[in-house]
Amino acid sequence: MALPRHLKNGLTPLEIEFLAENELIEIEAAIDTRTDLELLSGTLPALKPLRTNKVPLWMAISLKKKHKCNIRVPDWMTVEALTRMLNEEQSVDMFSPLPYHYMEIAQILLENAMDDIPSADATRTLLKDLREARQSKARAGVDALGLTYIQMDNIGLMEINEIRPFFTKAFFEIQKLKPAAVGGINNNNMDNDLYDYDYGGGSMDGRYNAGGQGNSSLLADFDGKASYSSSTVPESSRFHSTQGSRMN
Amino acid sequence: MEDYYDIDSILAEDQNVKCVFQKNIPGLAWLEGGHDDTTVPMDIETPEFFGPKVRNALRADATTVDLTKQCPNFFRFGTFYLQLVDDMALSGVMEGAFKARLQMTMDHTQSGGNSNTTDYLNRLDETERELYKAGMESSASIHQWNQQSFGRIRSASEMLLKRKAT
């Protein structure tokens, strides 16, 4: 594909933000729509004032900009919840269970609905701290590279996307460096796997397997083709290596 | 061997290797293995950058070794070389070194390239440089998104340059 490299690597942050806008969020509408709302993704019950309605984030933002609703901050985005999460993040080795789109939702809300968030500044600081703690954990994942896959539960889509180009490339390079007996990946397979990610937010619970959707096939390759030697040179024509035995 | 059209792969294969022939081969053309003869009448000499000196340096502290000086396509050429020669020790050293250096490269991509990285970058081989670029680009795009510089209309960088010049 003749795409520029920053597009080849997966999704751009803006595309991820777009995906996150489909998440449902609670709002207190100031208008009465009377009829149910027919959307492409399904039907939403009619908005009623003084009642909480669940609508997609994009709609909430659009209504907010017209001053027709107040957005309810999600449970995980309150200062108490974030403080608890940050403590957990710093004490446990695992990623703490934040929503798959937490970075995007937080960013959108902080930008568009500051007045609905009690103590927005504290929230912002906590989110930054959380992100940094998680980033250092992702960095520690580099050590785990080189096995058949790495598992990072509860990591967000934006975070996956940040480390994806680096990790996938490094992963395949390490596989190439493995001794032939272990069984390398043949090249065609590698190209397919690189672009075979499950980008959809729905089914993934933030699980990142290097190799993504193609992971099962990757593993199958290691078992099935263990006898496949990565070298394309037949055994008979292997050379002998010598150390300075050059005879003149 | 690798991807036929991959220019890096072609460059890596261009590395010269010293060989010693055991027989006279008149009119040498194509180095395909002998069909009946199981031994190939030729020895490959281990290149200097795979020699014990570099190996020990990589074992001791992989991050400080200047790979560009040794061989610009160190890891890529290494994989080709290992396909020809059975050298388990070398593949172990290369894998260990790659992993150790990977951690450093990752840290440098995260720091946004503002720290004094040129020194370190000069020591990277081509494969690692590619990795560094990929990592830099993704972390830069996230950073940009965080700063909300997306979606804002700005003048193109070329225009700014022109304005400065006049």
A242 beta partners: B45
Distance from CA of A51 to the nearest CA of B (A): 33
List chain B residues with CB under 8 Å of A128. none
User: What's the complex ipTM?
Assistant: 0.74
First to last CA, chain A: 50
CATH for the stretch B7-150? 1.20.58.2050
| Chain B residues in contact with A244 (beta carbon < 8 A) | 45-46
Q: Is the pLDDT higher at A86 or at A204?
A: A86
Average pLDDT over residues B86-101: 85
Strand A69-71 and strand A151-152: the pairing is unpaired
CB atoms within 10 A of CB A243: 10
Interface of A with B in 124-183 (CB under 8 A): 135, 139, 142-143, 145-146, 158, 161-166, 169-170, 173-174, 176-180
- As beta bridge partners, residue A53 has A27
End-to-end CA distance of chain B: 53
Q: Is the pLDDT of residue B139 over 50?
A: yes
Q: B166 vs chain A: nearest CA distance in angstroms? A: 32
A&B contacts, CB < 8 Å = 140
The continuous run of DSSP H or E covering B42 comes out as strand B42-45
Residue B114 clears pLDDT 80, i.e. is over it: no
Report CB contact under 8 Å: A165, B135.
yes
Preferred mutation among B56, B79, B133 to probe A, highest tally of A CBs within 10 A: B79
> How far, rounded to the nearest angstrom, does the alpha carbon of residue B66 sit from its chain's CA centroid?
12
pLDDT at residue A195 greater than cutoff 50: no
Break chain B into its structural domains and give their ranges.
7-150
**Computed from CA positions of residues B2, B5, B8, B12, in that sequence, does the dihedral angle turn out positive or negative?**
positive
pLDDT bin (cut points 50, 70, 90) of residue B99 is confident
Question: Confidence band (pLDDT; 50, 70, 90) for A7?
Answer: confident
Q: What dotted CATH number matches A75-144? A: 1.20.58.1020
**A149 pLDDT tier (thresholds 50, 70, 90):** confident
What pLDDT does residue A211 have?
38
* A234 has pLDDT over 60: no
What's the length of chain A? 248
Which tens digit of pLDDT belongs to each residue from B28-71? Answer: 655 555 555 555 567 788 888 888 888 888 888 888 888 888 88
pLDDT of residue B116: 65
The residues spanned by each domain of chain A are: 13-72, 75-144, 145-229
pLDDT at B22 over 70: yes
pTM exceeds 0.80: no
Per-window interface: B 114-133 vs A, CB < 8 A: 127, 130-131
pLDDT at A8: 75
Task: Answer whether A143 sits within 8 Å of B99, measured CB to CB.
Answer: yes
- Among A200, A104, A105, A99, CA closest to A154: A99
Instruction: Say whether residue B142 is in contact with chain A using an 8 A CB cutoff.
Output: yes
In this prediction, residue A130 carries a pLDDT of 92
CATH class for the domain made up of A13-72: alpha beta
SS3 A200: coil
Residue among A166, A240, A241 minimizing CB distance to B134: A166
Among A232-241, B132-141, B156-165, which stretch is predicted with the lowest mean pLDDT?
A232-241
Average pLDDT of span A70-76:
92
Mean pLDDT of chain A, nearest integer:
74
Instruction: Evaluate if residue B27 carries a pLDDT over 50.
Output: yes
Contact A177 B131 (CB under 8 A): no
- CA-based torsion, A80, A85, A87, A88: positive or negative: positive
CB B66 within 8 A of CB B122: yes
CA distance A248 to chain B (A): 9
A contacts of B103 (beta carbons < 8 Å): 139, 142-143
